[in-house]
Amino acid sequence: MAVNIQKQVDAVRNDTSLMSGLQSLMDTVLKDTNYEVCLDEIILGIISARGNLRSTRPENGYAAYLWRMVAFMISDNRAHNCIPCMADLYIPIEDREIRNQVIAILDTLDKRIVDQFKPSECTGLKAWKGLLI
């Protein structure tokens, strides 16, 4: 069964203070690079047209990273509950310092989305029996 996350995604997108702050931070991190990232598009990239968490990884590397981190915690597909230790490689930035800063921003979005679910709704959390907290 697909996990509907439309409400959680909308809540994060509608938090204008959070979104504008993170977008400003992302723009600052990427200002001397050729990369541009629109966080709103990234968030929308992890959901299907029906508002469900996508069943497969998005093609956009930034959205793929965010999707993987969210899917790890809330997807009811057991294959998604594997620790996402290689997810940072989806981000198409070679400079490790810049990539780590981008990851920190995307992790903030991940946490904001996942924190809106009850622990009992987080299949990944249940699969790892609370070892991740």
Q: What percent of the chain has pLDDT over 70?
A: 95
Q: How far apart are CA 127 and CA 37, in angstroms?
A: 32
pLDDT given at position 78: 81
Q: What is the mean pLDDT of the chain?
A: 90
Is the Cβ–Cβ distance between 123 and 81 less than 8 Å? yes
Residue ranges per structural domain of the chain: 6-127
Which pLDDT tens digit goes with each residue over 53-112? 999 999 999 999 999 999 998 888 888 878 888 899 999 999 999 999 999 999 999 999
